[in-house]
Amino acid sequence: MNEVEVFKYEALDAIISNFLREKESNIRDILSNAYQAVAKELYEAQQALAGKNQYDGLFHRWLAHINYPPSSAYELIGVHKERLRITEKQIEVFDTLPIGLAKTISTKSSESTPTKAQAKSEVLNGDIDTLKAYRERIIELESQAKRATEKAEQAESARQIAEEKTQQFEQLFGEQSMYDASVTKVTNGDAITYAVYSFQEDTRSFIEKYAHLTHFGREFDGMIDEGRVEYLKAIDSAMDFLNGMKRMLTQQEAIIIEQ
């Protein structure tokens, strides 16, 4: 069986391509106007028969008589109801939409979530004009919303952790008012005494983090000179600080500077 060749405007010469594009546009306009007109007729018929006992079930029997599926009828009725709700400017856009897209954004579920409501708003503003693009936009917005929620949860988790650490710190070392704004420079003797636990913890963490470097003899032998110099600078700075601390602590009477 021979495959049907795919139609492409680009494969035609300019004259026939433009001619057929115009015909397609005209046909779509006719169909658009037709479904809007049918939606209006169905809506008016339903409204005339609604809420009256003597007409109970008559609308469905009438739909069966004209061989019109109830599900399709109620979809178009929803389209017309939507048209009655929106602004005149939005109606201009709405009337040009493909029937599938018009039906989709006319359902109650089209505003069931913030992302769907935004996508619908973009359709009515003229930014989206196909059902495929509408569905893709919802997926995009839902993905953005998910990332935003995850970031908010991470921020809240970080806040709670920081709050817990602050509470733990104050339980061990007293309120942070004993410290200056940097929280690393103590301002009285009691704070220096309490800070020993923080100093121990930070020192232990530093050693655990970089202990593996003491086994990198071969790697250090092969490193560039610039890297070796930077390591040595950092080590010298640390040694100067630690030796200074050791001298202060091994004096017979440690000097505490009050500010």
Structure tokens at 33: 């106007």
Structure tokens at 113: 């979530």
pLDDT of 185 reads 55
Q: What's the rounded Cα separation, in Å, for the pair 241 and 104?
A: 70
Query: At how many degrees (to 10) do helices 114-124 and 131-173 cross?
Result: 140
**Token pair 């636990």 in the structure block, residue:** 197
Structure tokens at 94: 């709405």
CA of residue 232 relative to chain centroid, distance: 46
Kindly report, residue by residue over 232-258, the tens digit of the pLDDT: 888 888 888 888 878 877 875 544 444
pLDDT of 131 reads 93
Structure tokens at 160: 């709670």
Kindly report, residue by residue over 129-159, the tens digit of the pLDDT: 999 999 999 999 999 999 999 988 998 888 8
- The mean pLDDT value for 67-71 works out to 93
Kindly report, residue by residue over 110-127, the tens digit of the pLDDT: 999 999 999 999 999 999
